[in-house]
Amino acid sequence: MENICIGVVLTVSPSNSSTASQKKSSPSGKKKVILVTYRDEFMKNEAVGLVEAAGYAISSIIDQRKLNHSQYGVGSGKAEEIKMLAGDLGTQMIIVDDRLSSSQAHNLAKFTHQEVIDRERLILDIFNSRATTTEAKLQVKLAELKYEIPRAREAVRVSLKGEQAGFMGMGEYAVDIKFRALKKQMSLITKKLEEAKKRRDLFRISRERINLPIVSLAGYTSSGKTTLFNKLTSESKEESAKLFTTLTTTTRSFEPIRGKKVLLSDTVGFISRLPTYMIEAFKSTLEELTYADLILLLLDASETFEAVSIKYSSCRKTLDQLHINPAKILVVINKLDIAQREDEEKRRELVSDLPSIGISSKTGEGLRKLKVRIADTLYPESASSKIERPGSELEPSGEEAEKMLVEPAETTANSDPMVERIDMSSRGS
């Protein structure tokens, strides 16, 4: 892939170079950071998950009621506390769990002598580390540019403060140059993504000719989508509790009932407070959901009801932004093997506006019922006489059901022309 440089530095480092010698790593070799987040327990846990997914070691967590103070993002008293704590702990970075303007990040970095990044930059760093295909890398670069452009003018002016040569000052010339460079890079990446979309459209046309129904997995990041994908298709995609393990859509076929094949797609996970520009950058990947005949929306039953409720609301909001018809959604309550059983009734009530089913991707509990539900939805003429309609979790009974249910088809992209991996790295840029 062609190397594409971001025209402006995307993180803010301390201006005092003498602090460099004081930087230390954790025993694991990871960069030590201070996390500044909200007092809300869900937000705090999610922020910790993001920081760990990015590969940092948290030395201290500082919580705040709000993170929108004008000068530093945090209050001046809290900034003083962070500065002292950073010196005592020998940390290298401050991560603020919200959006910071470039001036706020610059002010906090200068005051604390620490590198400073915000939540959006943190997510982009994770995306960068997870992107393995050409298309995914381009999508991340596009998101980075959209993140940086609003900050470019202010960031360059800060860095060139005091220069006044030329009309409107030398800084004005530099700003224009940087801004045009960012716009040019964005245009180039957008063009490459449009080419990738054309190839994706060709894949979709091929699938339509085969006339196989499509099932897409959706849900909050780390809800178990890839584990379920592997279980149903006999694949071995990387499974991890870390956030955003999957950034690239992968499609495989399997047979929920004998002789009835469907295509199953694993997609990028959702997360709360994801900026619109990031959703837009990954539009071509998320668009796969709009073409699905059935969407399995996964929820993690091992989490507290509050967390499940917040994540469900976030997922539904994202699906609404993509104009997904709710009639195509089947809620899959996953991880029943480690579920919070006392919240079972509340979870059912939470998703009562949509059909739902409970499973464990890890142990296989409920997978037979899920396969039949998929078949009943996509091939009603074959399955409807043997199971209840959506809304019921009853299974077909006796030997007849056993004959219909089969193990996942052992097919690969090389052996089955109806299967493809949406992987641009194997097809050029």
Percent of the chain exceeding pLDDT 90 equals 55
pLDDT of res. 404: 38
Comparing 144-148, 158-162, 205-209, 298-302, which segment has the lowest mean pLDDT? 158-162
Query: What is 212-426's CATH number?
Result: 3.40.50.300
Q: Please state the three-class secondary structure of 112-143 as a single string.
A: HCCEEEEHHHHHHHHHHHHCCCHHHHHHHHHH
Q: Is the pLDDT reported for residue 192 higher than 50?
A: yes
Mean pLDDT (the chain) is: 81
Instruction: Taking residues 122-149, report their average pLDDT.
Output: 91
Domains 30-129 and 212-426 share a fold: yes
Residue 131 identity (one-letter amino acid):
A
Copy the structure tokens of residue 23: 């930087």
Q: In this model, does residue 360 exceed pLDDT 50?
A: yes
Q: Is 410 exposed, middle or buried (0-12, 13-18, 19+ CB in 10 A)?
A: exposed
Report CA 374 to chain centroid distance, whole Å.
25
Give the SS3 label for residue 184: helix
CATH of domain 30-129: 3.40.50.11060
Confidence (pLDDT) at 139 = 92
Please compute the mean of the pLDDT values over residues 281-287 and round it to a whole number.
Answer: 80
pTM: 0.77
Segment 141-162 shows an average pLDDT of 78
DSSP letter for 388, please: P
Q: Is the pLDDT of residue 170 over 50?
A: no
Determine the pLDDT at residue 176: 75
Would you say residue 12 has pLDDT above 80? Answer: no
The answer for residues whose C-beta is within 8 angstroms of residue 41's C-beta and 6 or more apart is 306
How many residues does the structure list for the chain? 429
**CA-based end-to-end distance of the chain:** 6
Best-predicted range by mean pLDDT (69-73, 162-166, 187-191): 187-191
Calculate the CA dihedral of residues 379, 381, 382, 386 and round it to 10 degrees. Answer: 110
- Domain ranges in the chain are 30-129, 212-426
Percent over 70 (pLDDT), the chain: 76
